[in-house]
């Protein structure tokens, strides 16, 4: 191959550059940072700039779902005129608790890069077990609830065992569970088609109990805001003491104000109806707890590591099998908890509880909320955001008097859009150099 003549270099542009004998430049003692590297500037300007860059790079996170919620609220309010009423929104916070708690378990499984198709059946099984123990056999209510949750966790551990230790794909294991556990649920229910919830049961309170004193809702909002602000300020102070870069003060104020606005708006709205629902309190406690575990503990870090690169995690000394087994067990336990809420809403345990579109709604909620189907990326609060989207659509279409046929089609379309956003953002990330 002849080297290109200086006069006509352009047509060879696609080929590898000709080797030159120029001496390798020795690395400078203190190499200047690569000018192509983008370093975040100080202040709010740098923050907005980084935000724009993230969007363009495909790191959408939960931005689409927040926009989606606003669109849903505006559309249904303009179509029905009574979507944004305290009564309706208060009901919404009760309806999201059951599927939302199940979606938290799905988020954990998705972070591993796996899927759990059995959560609907496990929820139905746990409700049936509780009803059979407590109502039919007269076992103590609390003991029955604990036993049913333990059964859910055990069922999840069985899935985890076959997936992690035996090596059967999680998709197949949980698909088998989906069938098998709903069979067990029907068997447990026995002759009864429905077991109604007794008047004095705790499970009934999951749907019907409200802390009607206004102080509860305001106190909850205050507690959330203060807790968030304290955590943020304390961590920034520790960072400053260790000589690490800290967030600009404006950003801290802005974040706290946003949380405060959301918390107090919800509190006001709840107080306009019946007060603070017990269901919402339990859902929020679970969200905060699991979020802490996932983002702030060793175990959570291990979940992300296994979802990102299982082989690297194994070589770093992480017990990959144990992480997988426990995550499936947690998903089973959370599905069992969610089952009580759904039983409470429908008035009792039935043979068909947890079947139908519940499973798909729960998985869709986790994905719509911004947790990737491909593992290693996501956050626990996507369970809340995604469930809000799904339940808002359901309630809105109910208000419009749509048939369930239309509801299924619309929910399906929303799920497809969410997964498309996830896939496209992954592709954008790859072209932006972020695999």
Partner 1 sequence: MTAAAPTLLALRGVSKRFGAVQALSDVDLELRSGVVTALVGDNGAGKSTLIKTIAGVHAADTGVFEWKGRPVRINRPHDAQDLGIATVYQDLALCDNLDVVANLFLGRETVHGVALDEVEMERRSRELLDTLSIRIPSVRIPVASLSGGQRQVVAIARALIGDPDLVILDEPTAALGVEQTAQVLDLVERLRERGHGVILISHNMADVQAVADEVAVLRLGRNNGLFDMETTSQEKIVSAITGATDNAVSRRRHRRHHGTGRPAGGASGTEDAR
Task: CB nearer to partner 1: give 7 or 245.
Answer: 245
> Which DSSP string corresponds to 257-310?
HHHHHHHHHHHHHHHHTT-EEHHHHHHHHHHHHHHHHHHHSHHHHHHHHHHH-H
Please report, as ranges, the residues that interact with partner 1 according to CB under 8 A.
1, 24-27, 30-31, 33-34, 37-40, 235, 238-239, 242-244, 292, 296-298, 301, 304-305, 307-309, 311-313, 315-318, 375-377, 429, 433-435
Which one, 136 or 309, has the nearer CB to partner 1?
309
The residue among 82 and 297 lying less far from partner 1, judged by its C-beta, is 297
- Please provide the size of the chain in residues: 435
Q: Which residue has the tokens 């708006």?
A: 265
> Whole-number minimum distance, CB 60 to partner 1, in Å?
15
Q: How far is the CB of 432 from partner 1 (least distance, A)?
A: 8
In the complex, least distance from residue 258 CB atom to partner 1, rounded to whole angstroms? 21
**Least distance CB 305 / partner 1 (angstroms):** 5
- Of 402, 403, 400, 390, the C-alpha closest to 358 is 390
Cβ–Cβ < 8 Å for 354, 129: no
For partner 1, the closer of residues 248 and 376 by Cβ is 376
Q: Which is nearer to partner 1, 263 or 318 (CB)?
A: 318
Collapsing DSSP to helix, strand or coil, 211 comes out as: strand
CB-wise, 14 or 26, nearer to partner 1? 26
For the CB of residue 245, give the shortest distance to partner 1 in the complex, in Å.
9
- Give the contacts of 414 (CB within 8 A, at least 6 positions apart): 68, 364, 368, 389, 390, 393
Q: Nearest approach, Cβ of 302 to partner 1 (angstroms)? A: 8
Token pair in block for residue 60: 């959408």
Distances from the Cα of 258 to the Cα of 85, 261, 263, 400, 413, angstroms: 22, 5, 9, 32, 30
Hey, how many other C-beta atoms are within 10 angstroms of the C-beta on 300?
Answer: 18
For partner 1, which is the closer residue by CB, 20 or 403?
20
Q: Which two tokens stand for residue 173?
A: 């294991």
């Amino acid at each position: 191959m002849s080297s290109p003549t200086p006069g006509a270099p352009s047509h060879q542009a696609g080929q590898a550059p000709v080797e030159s004998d120029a001496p390798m430049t020795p690395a400078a003692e203190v190499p200047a940072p690569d000018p192509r590297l983008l370093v975040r500037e100080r202040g709010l300007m740098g923050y907005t700039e980084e935000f724009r860059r993230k969007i363009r790079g495909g790191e959408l996170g939960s931005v689409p779902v927040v926009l989606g919620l606003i669109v849903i609220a505006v559309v249904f309010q303009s179509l029905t005129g009574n979507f944004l009423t305290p009564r309706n929104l208060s009901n919404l916070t009760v309806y999201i608790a059951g599927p939302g708690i199940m979606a938290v378990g799905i988020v954990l499984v998705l972070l591993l890069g796996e899927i759990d198709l059995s959560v609907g059946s496990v929820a139905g099984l746990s409700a049936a077990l509780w009803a059979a123990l407590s109502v039919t056999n007269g076992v103590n209510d609390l003991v029955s609830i604990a036993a049913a949750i333990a059964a859910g966790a055990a069922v999840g551990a069985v899935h985890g065992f076959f997936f992690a230790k035996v090596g059967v794909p999680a998709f197949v294991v949980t698909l088998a569970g989906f069938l098998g556990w709903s069979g067990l649920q029907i068997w447990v229910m026995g002759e009864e088609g429905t077991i109604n919830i007794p008047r004095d049961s705790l499970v009934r309170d999951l749907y019907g109990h409200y802390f009607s004193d206004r102080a509860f809702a305001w106190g909850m909002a205050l507690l959330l805001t203060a807790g968030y602000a304290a955590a943020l300020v304390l961590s920034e102070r520790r960072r400053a003491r260790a000589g690490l870069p800290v967030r600009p003060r404006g950003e801290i104020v802005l974040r706290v104000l946003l949380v405060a606005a959301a918390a107090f708006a919800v509190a006001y709205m709840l107080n306009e109806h019946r007060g603070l629902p017990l269901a919402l309190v339990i859902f929020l406690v679970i969200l905060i707890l699991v979020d802490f575990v996932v983002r702030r503990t060793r175990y959570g870090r291990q979940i992300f590591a296994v979802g990102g690169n299982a082989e690297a995690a194994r070589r770093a000394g992480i017990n990959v099998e144990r992480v997988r087994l426990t995550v499936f067990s947690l998903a089973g336990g959370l599905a069992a908890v969610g089952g009580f809420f759904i039983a409470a809403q429908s008035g009792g345990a039935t043979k068909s509880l947890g079947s139908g579109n519940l499973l798909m709604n729960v998985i869709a909620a986790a994905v719509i909320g911004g947790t990737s189907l491909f593992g290693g990326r996501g956050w626990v609060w996507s369970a809340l955001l995604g469930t809000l989207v799904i339940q808002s659509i359901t309630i809105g279409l109910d208000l419009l008097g749509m048939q369930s046929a239309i509801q299924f089609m619309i929910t399906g379309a929303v799920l497809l859009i969410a997964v498309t956003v996830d896939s496209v953002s992954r592709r954008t990330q790859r072209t932006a150099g972020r695999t």
